[in-house]
Amino acid sequence: MFRLSSISAAQPCPDMAEALRLDLKGLNCPLPVLKTDKALGRLAPGDLLIVEATDPMSAIDIPHFCREQGHRLMDQEKNGPILRFTIARR
């Protein structure tokens, strides 16, 4: 079930100076890609967005979205059920 309380707005990320963090844990396809697209649209070119998701399809969908839209996928990692993507806006 989709709960708005499971989403937090993009917020500063302490481990990367210019990065914003988007918490999409608990959301399923296609919401992680849609919300990533919306968040990237608010950033300036070159800005970084760190996306955290738990939907296994995000491992395929977010890299594909980045390739199709011209964003640069800087890093992709998995820590338990959490998938973390670092994306530079085109």
> Has 29 been annotated as catalytic?
yes
Residues paired with 49 in a beta bridge? 20, 87
Domain count, the chain: 1
Amino acid at position 61, single letter:
D
Q: Does a structural domain hold residue 1? A: no
CATH number at residue 70: 3.30.110.40
**What average pLDDT does this structure show over 35-59?**
98
pLDDT given at position 2: 25
Please report the pLDDT score of residue 66 as a whole number: 98
Distances (CA, A) of 76 to 2, 4, 52, 59, 85: 25, 25, 10, 8, 5
Secondary structure class of 63 (helix, strand, coil): helix
pLDDT of residue 65 exceeding 80: yes
Q: What is the mean pLDDT of residues 9-13?
A: 50
List the catalytic residue out of 29, 31, 57, 59. Answer: 29
Its domain, for residue 44, covers 8-88
Position 42 confidence tier, pLDDT thresholds 50, 70, 90: very high
Residue 54 lies in a domain: yes
Question: With bands split at pLDDT 50, 70 and 90, how would you rate the model's confidence at 6?
Answer: very low
